[in-house]
Amino acid sequence: MAEIGTAKGPAAEHRIILRYADEPDYTTDIDCYLRHGGYEQLRKALSMEPAAIVAEVKASGLRGRGGAGFPTGTKWGFIDHAKNQKPVYLLCNADESEPGTFKDRQIIYKDPHQLLEGMIISSYANRAHLAYIYIRGEMVRGAQILERALAEARAKNFLGENILGSGYDLDMFVFRGAGAYICGEETGLIESLEGKRAYPRIKPPYFPAVLGLYLCPTIVNNVETLCNVKHIVEMGGAAYAKIGTPNNTGTRIWCVSGDVRRPGYFEYDGGAITMGELLYDVCGGIRDGNRLKAVIPGGSSAKVLRAGETYRIRRKNSQGTMEEVEMKLEDLPLDFDTIAASGSMSGSGGIIVMDHTRDMVECLNNLSAFYAHESCGQCTPCREGALWMHKILDRMAEGEGRPEDPQLLLDLAEQIAGRTICAFGEACSWPVESFVAKFREEFEAKAAKEHERLQPAC
Amino acid sequence: MALIQNPFDHDLPSADTPRVHVQLDGKWEEVPRGLNVIEVARRFGKLIPHYCYHPKLSIAGNCRMCLFEMGTPKLGPERKPILDGEGRPELQWMPRPQIACATTAFEGLGIRTGSPLVESCQKGVMEFLLANHPLDCPICDQAGECKLQEHAFDYGKGRSRFGEEKVRKPKRVDIGPRILLDDERCILCTRCIRFAREIADDDCLGITERGGYNRLSIYPDKRFTSNYSLNTADICPVGALTTKDFRFRMRVWFLKETESICVDCATGCNVTIGSREGFVHRLTPRVNEAVNSHWMCDQGRLGFHPIHSKHRVLEPARRAETGLFPGEWPFVLRQVAESLRKQNPSSLALLVSARLTNEELFLVQRLRDLLRGESEIFTEVVPRKGVADGLLRSDDLNPNSQGARILGIGADGEKLPELRKGIEEGKIRALFCLHEDAVGAGVPEEMLERLSLLVWQGILADKTCEKAHWVLPGASFAEKSGSMVNRAGRVQRLQRAIPTPGRAKEDVWILQGLILALGGEDLGQGGPDVFSKMAAATPAFQGLTWAGLGDQGAPLPA
């Protein structure tokens, strides 16, 4: 990795979360973690008031790393501890299953105690005495690593009763997921944790901060988000907020997969690197000398961006006033706001790259197969629509397209998005909407094949 | 309050709920705060179409048919609502549609039930629901009362763009002794699951598989045996759950609907009798929030079948040497009246059913008064004890024990041993059984042969009927009008749905005939006529009128 960041100028990786993860002698046991300054921030946090930690997190501007980018401090602020009589739960959403995303896995497999420390601090800040790590069922090894880490932390009194003499009690458990993408939707996760089918709950009234796990106030945060809390305690909210750009503070781990020479995960300050720099300089460019065709910037449910597109982005300039600039795909700085302004989202940070050899109908069919399989089937539009869209795309990919198919796909996507219980409706319809809209000619070409086929004689 | 405790009453906010103002399709209306938006619209004659919502079940929010456009008051700089010229808050409309079933009324809520966005949502959901639906309406029992059909007609596109292969799911799944499941028709609204869990307390249904292959299933090795299982067929908006009893029997649009009550126990669940050409095909519960809410038990629902039994007695008859000899009604009534008059009143006993209507019991009372002279006539009802289930079923299986008590006919059958003893000792020489079997009530069969007069009035031939000197074929609950008093003291009406079969007659007509033959007064020709006379003569019914009972009944005057 020596050449990264040296050749054409992108800033070198700024690893905070993954600082030690890939060091050759770094192991997952607690002794190694302690040697690297582990659980020091826990000691510091336990000497602070819970509300002070929440204030630091608010000041840090930390936004959730699971996909929606919701400000973590605001989420924590929803629980009114003065009025609340019920127990508070903290849940770590480690059900990482968005196609193209593999960042949480690195943390869990390589640095589990960092997650634990972040969670213990966050639990303390939210006055939770019971926390769960809901880990994706397929990550069997990850669950074992976490179990061992929990046992080690308990043995050293980082967990359990009267943690480090502070009077604070916390227990934490690993819960292995039920093997469905929808278990990562926070209310689906809660249902699953309660032992039920992971059907997302209707909001209102079931906002987790009010009626979460066992209808008690519940905080659900992503693995990367919780790890960040540790570093916010370490450096202070204001210092953390200086990393990255305003409203996109801290570092983010970008997972690049697809048709690049060196796919992988890379941690950069928010907005510190552009799409082009990441793809061409960091990841070594498109494989086999091919041309870039499209990028999905934030996990498979984000809208696709087409190479050669330009975007009009409104942003604050250095004087603090709003300005509108035109940007090419390659120039988009990687952060929450710019990618949202380009019409997509940075979501979970899973960047999927497609080169010019890719058939967009096949690509979309691949995604839609995933969504048709993963729809929980609770509410009508997504249950029927996701499977319907997949059937159409499957047929088109098989060369059986019909002229009405592209428009039908767009209509169906529109009939799903915004009308479902959870965000899965958007997740399954946005790719369809964007692929068909941006690569309409490819879809029309597949759809127009009908006249070439032999028609029945009658 | 209904006699059954519903876990939810979305349509019945408590009376002291504060009122708020909501804007419904441009008009400001006043409704109780927290009232479900579907119910808000319903109160003003607007239907927000829905499948999964049921006023008595928890909110699932999964069908997405009730999407509506929601407005909230625009807030000014001090976070106070901005008011328009008429003092109403100005509204801002949310870009995303909301589900009406999970939205409750608050001050300044705006509701649009027919905007272009709402219509597009409804069209979209209808198209999705019909995509994998088998569209087998011509052979589906639900056709004619199917919400999918109705809403497709009212809100659908009229045509489908679905050109793929439909999902195949199990059909004719035998999930319980009385109910069948067709998974392809199911729209996964989960009403049945919630009913089984929340009301029947038999949590055996659930969803299996995932996504578009989701299907309703029963827990492995379990059967849906609840005595309330058939309510799921009622609340199933489509033809996925059908009752084995009614399946393939009759197209529902041919059914004549008669509002009546169930006579299977003292609860008196309100029912609709579905009949055609003199034949009852089904009973379905009818909403009455003072009695059964939306529900009824399977036992009561299926209890009507004996009225079409081949053992129905169809002709008035006299016993001759060779067996029963049919006669004409005027002759038979005259002869029976004559035989009764000849009896010494003290040797006469009336064994009366507490399944008779108040009107019939009132006539029995009058008949007794005509015959008694100086001495008492033995009268008693036959008790039927069941097990109360904590839901709707009562431990009293007689539907009108209260009425029998009020009219002084009998109470709990305490005197029944005296009947047997009286016959045994020869004190009782004549017995008139009205819709009761003396053998079943404890009088041995051979003892009945000692009687000099045995008159039997009823519908199904029993042991007493076999010994009776006179047989008077009466009417079943579906063949007569009248009133009964349920266990909570509510007076409710039965309505005649079908004519009596053969030469059987309504019991009021028979009893009136006997009274007239004995020189008594004319008390009217049908249940309603007799009711007014009875109400005038009985303090407990004072002030009640037949019309005043209405379809929902009325409590006994205090």
Q: Does A375 touch chain B if contact means CB atoms closer than 8 Å?
A: yes
Residue A105 predicted with pLDDT over 50:
yes
pLDDT at A452: 57
Residue A450 predicted with pLDDT over 60:
no
Pick from A377, A414, A415: CB nearest B188: A377
Q: How confident is the model at residue B413 (pLDDT cuts 50, 70, 90)?
A: confident
| Domain annotation covers residue B473 | yes
Q: Which residues does chain A have within 8 Å of residue B61's beta carbon, measured at their own beta carbons?
A: 202, 379, 421
Contact between chains at B213 and A377 (C-beta distance less than 8 A)? yes
Q: How confident is the model at residue A314 (pLDDT cuts 50, 70, 90)?
A: confident
Residue A403 predicted with pLDDT over 80:
yes
Q: Which residues does chain A have within 8 Å of residue B188's beta carbon, measured at their own beta carbons?
A: 377-378, 380, 383
**Last residue within a domain, chosen from B88, B114, B140:** B114
Distance from B124 to chain A by nearest Cα, in Å?
5
Bridging pattern class, strands B67-73 and B91-93: antiparallel
Residue A30 predicted with pLDDT over 60:
yes
Distance from A203 to chain B by nearest Cα, in Å?
8
Both structure tokens of B421: 């003893």
How many separate domains does chain B show? 2
Distance from B122 to chain A by nearest Cα, in Å?
10
pLDDT at A177: 92
Contact between chains at A415 and B127 (C-beta distance less than 8 A)? yes
Distance from B268 to chain A by nearest Cα, in Å?
37
pLDDT per position as a tens digit, B37-95: 999 999 999 999 999 999 999 999 999 999 999 999 999 998 899 999 888 999 999 99
Distance from A202 to chain B by nearest Cα, in Å?
7
User: Peptide bond preceding A99: is omega within 30 degrees of 0, i.e. cis?
Assistant: no
| Domain annotation covers residue B299 | no
pLDDT at B390: 93
Distance from B125 to chain A by nearest Cα, in Å?
6
pLDDT per position as a tens digit, A236-265: 999 999 999 989 999 999 999 999 999 999
pLDDT at A6: 39
Contact between chains at A380 and B62 (C-beta distance less than 8 A)? yes
| Domain annotation covers residue B439 | yes
Q: How confident is the model at residue A2 (pLDDT cuts 50, 70, 90)?
A: very low
**Last residue within a domain, chosen from B83, B114, B145:** B114
- DSSP 3-state percent helix, strand, coil across chain A (nearest 5): 45, 15, 40
Contact between chains at B124 and A204 (C-beta distance less than 8 A)? no
Q: Does B165 touch chain A if contact means CB atoms closer than 8 Å?
A: yes
Pick from B60, B120, B212: CB nearest A387: B212
End-to-end C-alpha distance for chain B, whole angstroms: 18
Contact between chains at B63 and A381 (C-beta distance less than 8 A)? no
End-to-end C-alpha distance for chain A, whole angstroms: 65
Q: Which residues does chain A have within 8 Å of residue B211's beta carbon, measured at their own beta carbons?
A: 372-377, 383, 386-387
Contact between chains at B164 and A204 (C-beta distance less than 8 A)? no
pLDDT at B528: 83
* Mean pLDDT, residues B484-491: 96
Q: For residue A407, give the chain B residue with the closest CA.
A: B161
Q: A181, A182, A192, A380: which to substitute to probe chain B, counting the most B Cβ within 10 Å?
A: A380
Contact between chains at A383 and B128 (C-beta distance less than 8 A)? yes
Q: Between A and B, how many CB-CB pairs are < 8 A?
A: 100
| Domain annotation covers residue B303 | no
User: What CATH number does the domain containing B67 carry?
Assistant: 3.10.20.740
- DSSP 3-state percent helix, strand, coil across chain B (nearest 5): 30, 20, 50
pLDDT per position as a tens digit, B335-384: 999 999 999 999 999 999 999 999 999 999 999 999 988 888 999 999 99
Cα(B28)–Cα(B80) distance, integer angstroms = 19
Q: Which residues does chain A have within 8 Å of residue B59's beta carbon, measured at their own beta carbons?
A: 202
Contact between chains at A377 and B64 (C-beta distance less than 8 A)? no
Q: Write out the residue range of the structural domain in which residue B482 sits.
A: 317-555
Cα(A30)–Cα(A32) distance, integer angstroms = 5
Residue A43 predicted with pLDDT over 80:
yes
ipTM associated with this complex: 0.93
Cα(A31)–Cα(B397) distance, integer angstroms = 75
For residue B61, give Cα distances in angstroms to A100, A382, B101, B394.
31, 13, 7, 34
User: Peptide bond preceding B81: is omega within 30 degrees of 0, i.e. cis?
Assistant: no
Average pLDDT, chain B: 95
Residue A454 predicted with pLDDT over 60:
no
Q: B69, B106, B128, B165: which to substitute to probe chain A, counting the most A Cβ within 10 Å?
A: B128
* Mean pLDDT, residues A122-137: 97
Q: Does A381 touch chain B if contact means CB atoms closer than 8 Å?
A: yes
Residue B328 predicted with pLDDT over 90:
yes
pLDDT per position as a tens digit, B2-49: 899 999 999 999 999 999 999 999 999 999 999 999 999 999 999 999
* Mean pLDDT, residues B467-479: 97
Pick from A205, A383, A391: CB nearest B164: A391
3-state secondary structure chain A: CCCCCCCCCCCCCCCCCCCCCCCCCCCCCHHHHHHCCCCHHHHHHHCCCHHHHHHHHHHHCCECCCCCCCEHHHHHHCCCCCCCCCCCEEEEEECCCCCCCCHHHHHHHHCHHHHHHHHHHHHHHCCCCEEEEEECCCCHHHHHHHHHHHHHHHHCCCCECCHHHCCCCEEEEEEECCCCHHHHCHHHHHHHHCCCCCCCCCCCCCCCCCCCHHHCCEEEEEHHHHHHHHHHHHHCHHHHHHCEECCEECEEEEEEEECECCCEEEEEECCCCEHHHHHHHHCCCEHHHCCEEEEECCCCCCCCEECCCEEEEEEECCCCCEEEEEEEHHHCECCHHHHHHCCCCCCCCEEEEEECCCCHHHHHHHHHHHHHHHCCCCCHHHHHHHHHHHHHHHHHHCCCCCCCHHHHHHHHHHHHCCCCCCCHHHHHHHHHHHHHHHCHHHHHHHHHHHHHCCCCCC
Distance from A277 to chain B by nearest Cα, in Å?
37
Cα(B424)–Cα(B433) distance, integer angstroms = 17
Cα(B440)–Cα(B382) distance, integer angstroms = 9
Q: For residue B52, give the chain A residue with the closest CA.
A: A379
Q: Does A378 touch chain B if contact means CB atoms closer than 8 Å?
A: yes
Q: Does B206 touch chain A if contact means CB atoms closer than 8 Å?
A: yes
pLDDT per position as a tens digit, B108-161: 999 999 999 999 999 999 999 999 999 999 999 999 999 999 999 999 988 889
What's the full length of chain A, in residues?
458
Pick from A180, A372, A421: CB nearest B61: A421
| Domain annotation covers residue B493 | yes
Pick from A372, A386, A419: CB nearest B67: A419
Both structure tokens of B291: 């009695």
Contact between chains at B164 and A388 (C-beta distance less than 8 A)? yes
| Domain annotation covers residue B285 | no
Average pLDDT, chain A: 93
Both structure tokens of B60: 């699932």
Residue A1 predicted with pLDDT over 80:
no
pLDDT at B373: 81
Q: How confident is the model at residue B480 (pLDDT cuts 50, 70, 90)?
A: very high
Residue reference for tokens 């929980």: A376
Cα(A141)–Cα(A162) distance, integer angstroms = 30
| Domain annotation covers residue B151 | no
Q: Which residues does chain B have within 8 Å of residue A391's beta carbon, measured at their own beta carbons?
A: 164-165
A375 neighbors A387 (Cβ within 8 angstroms) = yes
Residue A9 predicted with pLDDT over 90:
no
Q: For residue B65, give the chain A residue with the closest CA.
A: A380
B443 neighbors B419 (Cβ within 8 angstroms) = yes
pLDDT at A338: 93
Pick from B96, B167, B211: CB nearest A376: B211
Distance from A215 to chain B by nearest Cα, in Å?
15
| B positions 75-134 inside 8 Å of A (CB) | 95-97, 99, 102-103, 120-121, 124-125, 127-129, 131-132
**What DSSP assignment string belongs to B87-150?**
SPBPEEE-SS-EEGGG-B--TTEEEESSSHHHHHHHHHHHHHHHHSS---GGG-TTTTS-HHHH
Q: How confident is the model at residue B207 (pLDDT cuts 50, 70, 90)?
A: very high
| Domain annotation covers residue B164 | no
**Last residue within a domain, chosen from B114, B129, B144:** B114
Cα(A42)–Cα(A48) distance, integer angstroms = 10
Residue A456 predicted with pLDDT over 90:
no
Residue among B344, B297, B394, B357 nearest B481 (CA): B357
The DSSP H or E segment spanning A93 is: strand A89-94
User: What CATH number does the domain containing B417 carry?
Assistant: 3.40.50.740
pLDDT at A457: 53
Q: What percentage of residues in chain B have a pLDDT greater than 90? A: 93
Question: Which domains does chain A show, CATH number per domain?
Answer: 30-242 (3.40.50.11540), 244-355 (3.10.20.600), 360-452 (1.20.1440.230)
